Structure 1
Amino acid sequence: MPTVPILMPQLGESIAEATIIRFDIEPGQQVQADQEVIEVETQKATMGVTTLCEGTVKEICVEEGETYAVGTTLGLLEVTEEEVAKTGVETLESAAEKRSAASGPRDEEKNLHFAVDDDSYEERAPVVEPSVRGLPVPAGVKGAHYISPRMKARMDEMGLREADISAIVGTGAGGRVTVEDLEKFIDYIDTWPSSHASPMRLAVADAMRRSWTRPLATVSRPVFLDRVLDHRRQQDPKPGLTLYVLRAFAIALSEDPRSAGYLIGERIVHPRAFDIGVAVQVDDGVMVPVLRNVDTMTLPQLTNNYAEMVDRARRRRLSEEDTSAGIATVTNFGTFGLTHGTPIPLPNETLILGLAAGEKKPVWSSEVEAFVPATVAEIAVTFDHRVVDGGGAGLLLARISELLQTPEKL
């Protein structure tokens, strides 16, 4: 019977590999066309690999927990000639015939250095290691300095970056970390407890490493939340505090978009739409679904869109389009009881706004000439100092605070 491969699909424009999470099939099982048969995880989401046609599972060619490149053969289906004719899928047999016809007869005299014994050649699914690997390091030791070409080559072999070796004490000239230092350190931590870093964790690590190549700064100020909380009690469904801040943030940026510019060479590129992401905590990292045109949406519209996005994020069902092209991010670290924070923006964004936990504090009221209780929280903005100065960031926070005092207008 003809054989049809189950291939690792292109799961996103910038995604080159995915990790096998679970098999929903086994050899000998009958499957239908477009049936989800394998669950895979990319750096951004968990997705299902589907079949192209109806058939019987002949073989599973990969292993759970391993990472494979796009185009890898994950499994094989035995199908009927009728199914091939109906769906038009390409079988392994027809693909081999096309390759043979295209290559033509081999010229043994001209290709001696590249001759391949076809009978002994066997296709195997290439295992691709994750592109970013973290390394646990002990605290309290000095950092690395200059990296020699030999050391850099060894790091490349091991998939390490400069940040991974920053805790190693160098014994070379001028405090340089040598290959011997690295090997000794690897041996030293070899018996330490460790765990596998998920694609999500590696994606967050890579994004934060790239973000930190810029000069980032954070400023903050207190904001009064009592009017927002009173307004929220009257709404059904009730918007979260994050959405009030998100809406005020978008309005403030739309009024003066210079803070959201992005420096490219000698140009500052300004946003053409106020699409803002919201950080959502998941099991092993953070996902940032992007809400579109926040400056033109009402709070009820945002509430519905946000609830749907958060649900999809926690189920790892966000598409690349759902997480791309944001100009800034809002994160509510106050949900963890934190009263202060310095969030880091994504590499493609200049700004991130953080909301801390609200606290009841005595505040002087000039109206009653006495201290009265008020709910106060800190809002902080981290920004690319090449684009925004502290004064500009402070004015942005002041405008957000002002907008939050009239929540009925948001």
Structure 2
Amino acid sequence: MSEFLLPDVGEGLTEAELVSWKVKEGDTVEINEIICEIETAKSIVELPSPFAGTVLALMVAEGQTVDVGTPIISIGDAAPPAMEIDLSNPAASGGGEGESLVGRNKADRGPQRRARKGAASPASQAGAQAQLQVQGAFAPGGAQSQPVAPADEPPVPAESAAPEPVPTLTAALRALAKPPVRKLAKELGIDLSTLTPSGPRGTVSRDDVRAASVSLSAGHGGGADVGEALPETARERREPVKGVRRAMAQAMTRSAFTSPHVTEWVTVDVSATMRFLERLKTQRDFAGVRVSPTLVAARAAMLAMRRTPEINSWWDEEAQEVVYKSYVNLGIAAATPRGLVVPTIKDADSLSLLELAEALGELTATAREGRTQPAQMSGGTFTLTNVGVFGVDAGTPIINPGESAILCLGAVNKRPWVDEETGEIVARDVTTLALSFDHRHIDGEKGSRFLADVAGILRDPASALLF
């Protein structure tokens, strides 16, 4: 039997939530077959199996958050269906070889016995190496699994390992609940499998456990209706902050209270940009490629950085230095069902307009599906956010950590506008831009010049030839 330990799929991530299993007990899996989806602080990631064999046990329930290095699935050879094991006789079970209780933590399982000399089969050795490769590929620091015991080490006497119960996945493990809730249920003597969950996505909450405890004390049993025990909870709902949302909250708080933000605004006539986009749609090269004001705003921002490189720099607080970047990793803020994420287009300044449009389309689609990988959300140097898609005119965006500025694009609407040449009031496509920047090293003059340059290109796309 081989246990797959939860790997670090990002850069130093310590935990992840198991969102869904793609296999069930008894299924046969191959190496690299997707077995589950996990949600980290950055995204949803599919985990491939490092072993081939039969799924013996799912050791973590869906919706449960576990630490990196925790066993999540057991894969091995299926036991003969007619075989009976006498647990009272260690010799009858092979001397306790390979026994473990599924669902228990590593600390609860006690010492692990090493494999007997020559007992490791080529398949098991290949599986162990595959696990190291899978986990090592995700984590810069290497695999999170335990070292594989060499096959030629002396065996540990069977008497040193006490026989354990046959692996089984209990109903309590199948009940979705966070570790603190499970601990509370254990302390109060509540069987989680008897409760009706009221938490998000069918999870058992603390209130469910407490209500069951109150009912049990009153003689109603552990499966009482939680609505009767805590009627006041019907008027409010609690939802745990985790995964992407928690990471976003921490990042925004850190940025807001470490970097002095300044926000400037400009309202601009973008009628020429809208006509330019309509012409692009008729071009054969752009057939099937989505073009939008975000595309032109992104190109305009990268061109404007040539005159104001401070926008694409970063304040290193520890070194007390300003780090100037000669490349642009463009972050695009994307709203997803699981929270705000900012995937980046690496070296966006080196892309043609068509390549940039294709990259934006792929990035947006992947983010909305929750498939953005952690590596795609790191290393950003400048961020663009478009609140116009929600019908909002503008906002005061918070700078992404590790950057110095963020540009906000508002909704493009028809508005009355005074023509500068004729003085007449005409209908124009108008939008509002908002730029937030780090005032420690970007002063008002530099921020204003950058914003004015972006607005100038959106007002007249042909002016981009001047940069």
Output the TM-score relative to the length of structure 2: 0.65
Query: What residue ranges of structure 2 are gaps of 5+ in the alignment?
Result: 79-120, 132-145, 166-172, 181-231
The answer as to 2:130 corresponding to 1:84 is no
Does structure 1 retain, via aligned residues, the 8 Å contact 2:50–2:128? Answer: no
Partner residue in 1 for 2:98:
none
Partner residue in 1 for 2:67:
69
Partner residue in 2 for 1:222:
267
Cα distance in structure 2, aligned partners of 1:366 and 1:209: 43
Does structure 2 retain, via aligned residues, the 8 Å contact 1:275–1:326? Answer: yes
SS of corresponding position for 2:249: helix
The offset of 1:407, in angstroms, is 2.2
Q: How many equivalent residue pairs? A: 336
User: Cα distance 1:393–1:121, how it changes in 2: closer, same or farther (>3 A)?
Assistant: farther
The offset of 1:405, in angstroms, is 3.0
Does structure 2 retain, via aligned residues, the 8 Å contact 1:220–1:394? Answer: no
Among 246, 249, 252, the alignment partner of 2:301 is 249
The offset of 1:359, in angstroms, is 2.7
Partner residue in 2 for 1:315:
369
The CA deviation string for residues 8-67 of structure 1, in whole angstroms up to 9 with x for no partner, is 122012322110111122221111111111111111111112211210111111121111
The CA deviation string for residues 209-267 of structure 1, in whole angstroms up to 9 with x for no partner, is 11111211211111111000000001133511111111101111133202332222431
Give the letter for the 2:56 counterpart: K
Partner residue in 2 for 1:268:
322
Partner residue in 2 for 1:169:
none
Partner residue in 1 for 2:250:
206
Partner residue in 1 for 2:46:
48
Among 234, 239, 246, the alignment partner of 2:279 is 234
Partner residue in 2 for 1:370:
424
How big is the alpha-carbon RMSD for the aligned residues of Structure 1 and Structure 2?
3.3
Give the letter for the 1:262 counterpart: W
Partner residue in 1 for 2:338:
284
Does structure 1 retain, via aligned residues, the 8 Å contact 2:17–2:38? Answer: yes
Does structure 1 retain, via aligned residues, the 8 Å contact 2:44–2:373? Answer: no
Does structure 2 retain, via aligned residues, the 8 Å contact 1:262–1:350? Answer: yes
Cα distance in structure 2, aligned partners of 1:64 and 1:269: 43
User: Cα distance 1:217–1:104, how it changes in 2: closer, same or farther (>3 A)?
Assistant: farther
The answer as to 2:461 corresponding to 1:407 is yes
Cα distance in structure 2, aligned partners of 1:291 and 1:95: 37
Larger Rg: 1 or 2? 2
Among 400, 415, 418, the alignment partner of 1:346 is 400
Query: What residue ranges of structure 1 are gaps of 5+ in the alignment?
Result: 106-116, 130-187
Among 398, 404, 409, the alignment partner of 2:452 is 398
The 5-angstrom pairing of residues 24-43 of structure 1 reads 24-43=22-41
Relative to structure 2, which stretch is displaced further, 325-334 or 293-302?
Answer: 293-302
Does structure 2 retain, via aligned residues, the 8 Å contact 1:84–1:90? Answer: no
Identity of matched residues, %? 26
Give the letter for the 1:84 counterpart: S
The offset of 1:273, in angstroms, is 0.9
The offset of 1:325, in angstroms, is 1.0
Output the TM-score relative to the length of structure 1: 0.74
User: Cα distance 1:218–1:190, how it changes in 2: closer, same or farther (>3 A)?
Assistant: farther
Partner residue in 2 for 1:326:
380
Does structure 1 retain, via aligned residues, the 8 Å contact 2:15–2:65? Answer: yes
Cα distance in structure 2, aligned partners of 1:361 and 1:286: 30
Give the letter for the 1:233 counterpart: E
Does structure 1 retain, via aligned residues, the 8 Å contact 2:267–2:433? Answer: yes
Cα distance in structure 2, aligned partners of 1:313 and 1:333: 16
The offset of 1:340, in angstroms, is 2.5
SS of corresponding position for 1:308: helix
User: Cα distance 1:297–1:82, how it changes in 2: closer, same or farther (>3 A)?
Assistant: closer
User: Cα distance 1:98–1:309, how it changes in 2: closer, same or farther (>3 A)?
Assistant: same
The CA deviation string for residues 196-219 of structure 1, in whole angstroms up to 9 with x for no partner, is 324111111111111111211211
SS of corresponding position for 1:235: helix
